[in-house]
Amino acid sequence: MSADPLPSSARRRSLLIRLPLLIAAVVVALTISRHWPVDQELHVVLGDAAPRVLELRVRYASPTGEREDWQREATFFYGPGQAPRVVNHAPKLASGDYDVEIEVGAGTGPSTRSSVTVTRHLQLQGRPVSVDVSAAVREALQRAAPPD
């Protein structure tokens, strides 16, 4: 007959010590994991305004932070007629609320160059989010067009 290395009461005591430590570690890991950066996915819809888009800048800021305290920023440059109808951007950000600023530079020539900034409050949770800026770009181009 082999001897049990720990009597049953000692095993229970060992389990009672380890179990709360394990539960505490899991709770801490779950709490911290909400603040870990994950791939977010933003689709900026340019639509029929895409051929006139020359530059697109996307900035992400915490709504509780300073406006100039950008957490991520990306700029895309396109030749005339080269911008896609939907621009995809996948920054690594913690899930949560963000103020997203989208600045679009567009034009059909030097005299019609215009830019427009669209700001949206978005909740990023690791799922795709779309922002349609096509109407704002069209309006900015109409304002910049020389009168006939």
Q: Report yes or no on whether pTM surpasses 0.85.
A: no
Check whether 73 has a pLDDT greater than 90.
yes
- For residue 66, the one-letter residue type is E
Q: What is the pLDDT of residue 81?
A: 93
Check whether 22 has a pLDDT greater than 90.
no
Encode pLDDT of 79-102 as tens digits: 999 999 999 999 999 999 999 999
Check whether 2 has a pLDDT greater than 80.
no
Check whether 66 has a pLDDT greater than 60.
yes
d(CA 65, CA 21): 35
**71 pLDDT band (50/70/90 cuts)?**
confident
CB proximity list for 51: less than 8 A, separation 6 or greater: 80, 81, 83
Q: What is the pLDDT of residue 130?
A: 97
**122 pLDDT band (50/70/90 cuts)?**
very high
Check whether 46 has a pLDDT greater than 70.
yes
Check whether 35 has a pLDDT greater than 80.
no
Q: Which residue from 96, 86, 74 is spatially nearest to 48, judged by alpha carbons?
A: 86
Percent share of the chain, pLDDT over 70: 84
Check whether 6 has a pLDDT greater than 60.
no
Q: What is the pLDDT of residue 36?
A: 80
CB proximity list for 4: less than 8 A, separation 6 or greater: none
